[in-house]
Amino acid sequence: MKRFLIALLLCTLPALPARAALDPALVKQLAAEDSDARIAAIQKLGTSGDPDVLKVLKALASDSLMVTPDGRVFLMPEDKAFDAATGAEIDPVPAEYDAITINNRIRSELDNAIAGLRLLNPDRAVRLAAARELQSDPGIELVPVMGKALAKETDAEIRHLLRFALDQANLASPDAKLRLAAVRALGHDASPTTRGLLLPLTDPANEADAAVRQAATASVKAIESRLAIGDTLGQIFTGISLGSILLLAALGLAITYGVMGVINMAHGELLMVGAYAAYFMQGVFRSHLPAYADWYVVAAIPVSFLASALVGMALECTVIRWLYGRPLETLLATWGLSLILIQAARVLFGAQNVEVGNPAWMSGGVEVMAGLVLPWNRIVIIGFTLFVLALVWVLMQKTRLGLFVRAVTQNRAMAGCVGVPTARIDTLAFGLGAGIAGLGGLALSQVANVGPDMGQGYIVDSFMVVVLGGVGQLAGTVWAALGLGVLTKFLEGWTGAVIAKIVVLVIIIVFIQKRPQGLFALKGRFVEN
Amino acid sequence: MRTPVTLRFLGMLTRTGWIALALFAAITLVLLPVLHVYVPHDNPLHVSNYVITLGGKIMCYAVVAVAMDLIWGYAGILSLGHGVFFALGGYAFGMYLMRQIGTDGSYHSTLPDFMVFLDWKTLPWYWTGSDSFLWAMFLVLAVPALLAALFGFFAFRSRIRGVYFSIITQALTYAAMLFFFRNETGFGGNNGFTDFRRILGYDITSPEMRSTLFALSSLMLMLTLLLGRWLMTSKFGRVLTAIRDAESRVMFMGYNPLHYKLFIWTLSAMLCAVAGALYVPQVGIINPSEMSTANSIEIAIWAAVGGRGTLIGPVIGAALVNLSKSYFTVAFPDYWLFFLGALFVMVTLWLPEGVVGLWKRIRNRGRA
């Protein structure tokens, strides 16, 4: 039964072009000897806006439009023939016929005409695709079709695309008034392509009309200033996004180094642990919960935090605890720990970088304005940074643990006297700093490579942020991270990435000479030690 | 009453010390080079290329470790950027070595191969005079000294010390590494300099040249030790250790720590640079990874393993760590980093005075 239905459908499909006949004279002209006559016929058929023309023109484009020696034009998709003008089946197939061959000039005309016809198609997807195709170099002859389509079109996106194509086509219009209107309209756009389109019209060699030249110059200027704004905003955004990554990397360090005075060179490796925890969760979700694979990132938040926190507390209990008050020794010992962690990651997961994918809901971006697309993963990371900041603030200011940590920071002996278990607080505070590094590692896994060496690249940067912000100052860390991020991105625009990095390091070195205590220095007696 | 210089010089070391030094000189300046050059390959007494190169390399490292000891052990300044001075010395001498290749490179050009590759037509201005051996020697000393003096002046003037100082020296070497990684910097990008052919016209791979470089490294090491000993037994050394232990008090007594620190810091950088210049022709390559932060921290661990503030300790430390590195990276390549990491941890936790301290403790216990 099913097979029969399909067979029936296949039989009826070619018969569908039973419709109101096209102008037989025009159809006949498609097979004319003279190219100009054929082009005229294509254009006339195209502007008619009749959807049935599409079939004929497509057949012409794919060499399946045939002509008999006596000038009868018919379609021959397979082994059956249909009259081009009426769509009626011709049986038997004519004994003698030839495919109508077309040259490149005709082909480009044909493509335009087909595009124009598709603009009037009832299916939105077809119209949208056609409008997209018209974005680059639409022919002037399509203006009437596009105008017609625009008048009928209700979809906002397609209207926008069409208007742009129409304006663009009108730039070549022989009518100076139309050109002027198009130039003015395009001045509201803000893309480098539009600028490229308008630029020739500012030159007297290409544009005779002074008014149009003037308008074109004004439009180019408007576009350029809008592009510059977009560019600057884009740089500020990437700067903030870089800053928030720096902040996530440095925030844990600000707790362990700034608040506790421990120089933790293994901090970068705690980031790595967090990133590998994300990788691990991705694997778990892919094999056990493939339906929710995109949400592994959310599940990884507590896992990354705990993994790094546990590693951090283990380090504190075994090594760092014995070195309080000896910062240089701590530095060397934690460097040794970082080497061990790196090698452990190599042995466990291999020396190569592992693949941690962005969930689908984090790919793509929002277009805020023309030429300025904000990628979702960056936006999510900025939001995540805010979340972590809030978390740290609540933990440090609103919980008993935070109170104890602050008490031990300010006066260890006195805190011990009033019953704060200082040793345990040290372990917990170190675990907190390490856990936040783990969250930083999770964020990094979404934008950077995950591999055994990944932490090494961040350790210098993180220290710079903490030192610049002022030791023991969480607020300073925030400003330092954002400032460094934005500064780096702006410098990169002028000098390239490597020089920008060097310049930033030199600026920090010079800055520390001037203000050894960082941006937000503690004043008074605290300054020496 | 002033002690005559000769007496003061002889009194620097104990009798055993002088004998040990003479023995070391006899072995490294005469015995090993002779065994390497004049004893045929099949003779069991022949000293192989490998031993001579490894020995020369380790003695260069030992010079760096002693230089590190001068500032860390005696002045309490932990530099995590000494690799940059070592590498700068190496690069300065490497420029000369590159020019000595002449037209024997793959492109048969008078320019170094990497410049031909970058399509440069002439030498950049800072390569002027790089074909002169004397100018190369001058650069080896002057460039690191200038960088160290400038950096040290600003850092010590604003009284940056302790961990802060360590971290900004780390930033310094990191920035330098990034800078040298660029191809446009004109020092061969991430490949650096390699494929050296000769020094002063002599073949760089000949046994005679290897032995000469080996002996020069040994001489440099002995001179560094003597210089360190001389300085640290002088009044200057006393002031320096006083600054290490209580900088504010020394200031209140009328000394300006800036001059003392700056002098020892610059001297230490220059010693590193000379070691780097001797190192490069022996290993045959210099590239920016010598400036990586990991390399610079490793220098600190050589000094710590041997024992800080002892001069001889860092030599032992450099030798121990690098010999075990040569062994481990061949025998158990996967475990070298575990071992090195554990070494860092164990030395800081249980051996704060290093091997020399351990030796002293054992000897004292025997006496008591």
Give DSSP secondary structure letters for A28-93. HHTT-SSHHHHHHHHHHHHHT--TTHHHHHHHHHTT-EEE-TT--EEE-SSS-EEETTT-PEESSP
Are A284 and A379 contained in the same domain?
yes
Residue A215 lies in a domain: no
The total number of structural domains in chain A stands at 3
Are A199 and A241 contained in the same domain?
no
Are A362 and A440 contained in the same domain?
yes
Are A39 and A174 contained in the same domain?
no
pLDDT of amino acid A386? 92
Q: What is the mean pLDDT of residues B223-244?
A: 92
Q: How does pLDDT run along chain A (529 residues), one tens digit per residue?
A: 555 555 544 444 444 444 556 777 777 777 777 778 888 887 777 766 666 777 777 777 777 788 887 777 777 777 777 777 777 777 777 777 877 777 877 877 777 777 777 777 777 787 788 777 777 767 676 777 777 777 777 777 788 787 888 787 777 777 777 777 777 777 777 677 777 777 777 777 777 777 777 887 888 888 888 888 888 888 888 888 888 888 888 888 888 876 677 788 888 999 999 999 999 999 888 888 887 877 888 889 999 999 999 999 999 898 888 887 787 888 888 889 999 999 999 999 888 888 888 887 777 777 766 667 788 888 888 999 999 999 888 988 899 988 888 888 778 888 889 988 888 888 898 899 999 999 999 988 888 888 888 888 788 888 888 878 876 667 888 888 888 888 888 888 787 778 888 888 788 877 777 776 666 555 444 444 4
Task: Note whether B297 contacts A333, CB cutoff 8 Å.
Answer: no
pLDDT of amino acid B238? 92
Q: What is the Cβ-side half-sphere exposure of residue A487, based on CA atoms within 13 angstroms?
A: 17
DSSP B285: E
Task: Note whether B78 contacts A508, CB cutoff 8 Å.
Answer: no
Is the confidence at residue B152, as pLDDT, over 60? Answer: yes
Are A182 and A277 contained in the same domain?
no
Task: From A193, A208, A223, give the residue that closes a domain.
Answer: A208
Better-predicted residue by pLDDT, B329 or A205? B329
pLDDT of amino acid A16? 45
Q: What is the Cβ-side half-sphere exposure of residue A420, based on CA atoms within 13 angstroms?
A: 22
CA separation, residue A116 to residues A63, A138, A168, A448, B351 (Å): 20, 10, 15, 45, 84
Are A187 and A241 contained in the same domain?
no
Better-predicted residue by pLDDT, A114 or B148? B148
Task: From A400, A432, A458, give the residue that closes a domain.
Answer: A458
Residue pair B74/B264 in contact (Cβ under 8 Å)? The answer is yes
Residue A466 lies in a domain: no
Tell me the three state secondary structure of residue B139: helix
Is the confidence at residue B269, as pLDDT, over 90? Answer: yes
Q: How many CB atoms lie within 10 A of CB B206?
A: 12
Residue in A340, A459, A516 nearest the CB of B342? A340
The verdict on B175 touching A (C-beta cutoff 8 Å) is yes
Task: Note whether B338 contacts A512, CB cutoff 8 Å.
Answer: no
Q: How many CB atoms lie within 10 A of CB A294?
A: 14
Buried b (16+ CB within 10 A) or exposed e, B177-190: bbbbbbeebbbbbe
End-to-end CA distance of chain A: 91
pLDDT of amino acid B91? 94
Domain limits for position A98? 22-105
The verdict on A338 touching B (C-beta cutoff 8 Å) is yes
pLDDT of amino acid A13? 46
Task: Note whether B340 contacts A460, CB cutoff 8 Å.
Answer: no
Are A274 and A145 contained in the same domain?
no
pLDDT of amino acid A14? 46
Which of B344, B350, B353 best tests the A interface by mutation, with the highest count of A CBs <10 A?
Answer: B344
ipTM: 0.84
Amino acid in position B104: D
Task: Note whether B293 contacts A337, CB cutoff 8 Å.
Answer: no
Residue A425 lies in a domain: yes
Q: Of A26-40, A435-449, B21-35, B236-250, give the lowest mean pLDDT range.
A: A26-40
Which of B168, B301, B302 best tests the A interface by mutation, with the highest count of A CBs <10 A?
Answer: B168
Q: Specify the DSSP element, H or E, that contains B54.
A: helix B49-68
Is the confidence at residue B71, as pLDDT, over 80? Answer: yes
DSSP A411-462: -HHHHHHTT--HHHHHHHHHHHHHHHHHHHHHHHHHHS-BSTTTTHHHHHHH
Residue A130 lies in a domain: yes
Residue A430 lies in a domain: yes
Tell me the three state secondary structure of residue B101: coil
pLDDT of amino acid A345? 92
User: Chain A to chain B, count of Cβ pairs less than 8 Å apart?
Assistant: 115
